[in-house]
Amino acid sequence: MNLQPSPSDETFRAEVADWMRQHLNGRFANLVHRGGPGDEEVDPASRKEWERELAAGRWTCVGWPAEWGGRGLSIEQQVIFHEEYARAGGPGRMGHIGEGLIGPTLIAFGSESQKKRFLPGIVAGTEFWAQGYSEPGAGSDLANVQTKCWQEADGSWRVQGQKVWTSLAHESEWIFVLARSEPASRGRHGLSFLLLPLDQPGVRIQPIRQMGGGAEFNEVFFDGAAAAADHIVGKPGDGWKVAMGLLEFERGVSTLGQQMHFAYEFDLVVKAAQANGSSANPQIRQRIAQAWCGLRVMRYNALRMLSGGDGHGLKREALIYKYYWSNWHRELGKLAMDVLGPAGDVISDDPRIRPLQQLFFFSRADTIYAGTNEIQLNLIAERGLDMPREPRPAA
């Protein structure tokens, strides 16, 4: 165990911080600390431009191999990049689904022509992606996907059905879709993984308004929407394997960047408490200290994860992580509103209040998406404690 950064890591950290200082200003100044989860609708045009600014500095896809336009950074340096990005108030990444999910999936499972076609647009910040997994009847039980797909005589694919909770579909060019290619199949068998352009007659996008007033999620309806013959990732029927491989990429190095943002939100809460005097309230003080303890837990837990566990072979720290951060974040939201008191009940544009209200409402989603609390506890009990598995439908 060694928490000391190496000199080359420190140099790299300074380089990132310096670049951010020089570029995140002027026409991008209004984006500082904006555009994260719950705030994804903010100024999409300008945030896409920011993606291209990042690309010009070679700061997109920094963990990808150089062969595909990345920097091939080590885990440590990727962590540093995400930390400094967040510390500088770098805006929520419009390109995160491309960079963090579909890109790595194509690098692992895609054909050469798919890599050549799609990776450059992700690196350059010119093509944005949405994720078509969840359906009205396939939430926690993702394997119950009912959207259908079939192949036409010319080899192209058609998709019929509905996806839901599709972040940023209205701002994206492409969507990857998990759909059932074998009509009588059930569960995780008979699924395929397709890439579709969103701008076509067979696709209709309808926003879902959230409790906080915003609408960054959508329903996406497919009515015979088309995908090119070679835009299937893996073989027909391999969809589940590809879809699960993609979810593996969802966790990882950006975690510490997320924590920097949490620390920023925590600071906002402390400042609000100092400003209105609630910081003298012993219960508020207890909760602030408890939240700070949680920040330390998350940081060291992430470092444990990135160091490959503690030699037990069981990645216990990775199993608890999602449950821990999402519940911590939700509690921070409640603390923020309790600190604000009645002032929090009034819809506000005040930069000291609005982000805390957003945190309060949107953090309710944290314990639901990407595996609900209940699914997380099942996974922890079954994988972490080897307790009996929940019954699953026979395939």
Q: Distance between CA 350 and CA 372 in Å, rounded?
A: 32
CB-nearer residue toward another protein: 42 or 295: 295
Q: Distance between CA 70 and CA 55 in Å, rounded?
A: 10
Task: Answer yes or no whether residue 127 interacts with another protein by CB under 8 A.
Answer: no
Which of these segments, 37-45, 90-98, 157-165, 315-323, binds another protein (CB under 8 A)? 315-323
Tokens, residue 40:
């994804």
Nearest to 326 by CA among 285, 272, 375, 382: 375
Of 13, 33, 316, 329, which lies in the binding site for another protein, with binding defined by CB under 8 A? 316
Q: Which of residues 7-36 bind another protein (CB under 8 A)?
A: 9
Helix (H, G, I), strand (E, B) or coil at 352: coil
- 73 contacts 252 by C-beta, under 8 angstroms: no
Task: Answer yes or no whether residue 292 interacts with another protein by CB under 8 A.
Answer: yes
Which of these segments, 61-69, 145-153, 168-176, 309-317, binds another protein (CB under 8 A)? 309-317
Of 277, 311, 313, 342, which lies in the binding site for another protein, with binding defined by CB under 8 A? 311
Task: Answer yes or no whether residue 362 interacts with another protein by CB under 8 A.
Answer: no
CB-nearer residue toward another protein: 125 or 294: 294
Q: Distance between CA 71 and CA 63 in Å, rounded?
A: 6
- The single residue of 250, 317, 331, 390 carrying the catalytic annotation is 250
Which of these segments, 60-68, 99-107, 152-160, 319-327, binds another protein (CB under 8 A)? 319-327
Of 153, 296, 313, 347, which lies in the binding site for another protein, with binding defined by CB under 8 A? 296
Q: Distance between CA 81 and CA 383 in Å, rounded?
A: 32
Q: Distance between CA 186 and CA 393 in Å, rounded?
A: 9
The number of residues making up the chain comes to 395
Task: Answer yes or no whether residue 213 interacts with another protein by CB under 8 A.
Answer: no
Which of these segments, 215-223, 278-286, 329-337, 349-357, binds another protein (CB under 8 A)? 278-286
Is 250 labeled as catalytic in the residue annotation? yes
Phi, psi of 385 (to 5 degrees): -115, 0
Q: Distance between CA 61 and CA 100 in Å, rounded?
A: 8
Q: Distance between CA 162 and CA 137 in Å, rounded?
A: 10
Tokens, residue 107:
């690098």
Task: Answer yes or no whether residue 140 interacts with another protein by CB under 8 A.
Answer: no
Q: Which of residues 62-91 bind another protein (CB under 8 A)?
A: 76
Phi, psi of 196 (to 5 degrees): -125, 140
Q: Distance between CA 163 and CA 179 in Å, rounded?
A: 10
Q: Distance between CA 203 and CA 359 in Å, rounded?
A: 32
Count of positions on this chain that bind another protein (CB under 8 A):
54
CB-nearer residue toward another protein: 102 or 319: 319
Task: Answer yes or no whether residue 304 interacts with another protein by CB under 8 A.
Answer: yes
Task: Answer yes or no whether residue 117 interacts with another protein by CB under 8 A.
Answer: no
Of 319, 339, 353, 356, which lies in the binding site for another protein, with binding defined by CB under 8 A? 319
Q: Distance between CA 141 and CA 385 in Å, rounded?
A: 22
Q: Which of residues 320-339 bind another protein (CB under 8 A)?
A: 320, 323-324
CB-nearer residue toward another protein: 215 or 297: 297
Query: Each residue of 192-217: b (16+ CB within 10 Å) or e?
Result: bbbbbbbeeeebebeeeeeebebebb
The residues assigned a catalytic role are 250
Residues near another protein (CB under 8 A):
1-6, 9, 76, 270, 273-274, 279, 282, 285-286, 288-290, 292-294, 296-301, 303-304, 306-311, 316-317, 319-320, 323-324, 374, 376-378, 380-382, 384-388, 390
